[in-house]
Amino acid sequence: MVDAAAWQRQWFELEIINGLALAEWEEQGRPEDFSARWREGYQQEALERVNELLGLTAEIGMLPSLSRPPCR
């Protein structure tokens, strides 16, 4: 059974992280290289949320289907 509430919560958390990083990038004048700041301030939390989402997809058996070629 899919835990839709957990899925939505993790996705929403990722959206918040992305929004915060985007706002900071814009406040800094849209620098071409924002990677160091991303790693310092956002990457770890984003990875945690992604891992949670992957765990949820594994629970419902979605991951094996991702490795199959598309239907033709």
Lowest-pLDDT range of 29-33, 53-57, 65-69: 65-69
Q: Which two tokens stand for residue 37?
A: 């700041």
- Residue 25 CA: distances (Å) to CA of 22, 46, 50, 55, 69: 5, 16, 21, 30, 36
Residue 2 predicted with pLDDT over 80: no
Average pLDDT of 33-41? 95
How far apart (Å, rounded) are the C-alpha atoms in residues 45 and 5? 19
Q: What integer best gives the mean pLDDT of the chain?
A: 84
Locate 55 and state its tokens: 């765990």
Mean pLDDT of 30-58: 92
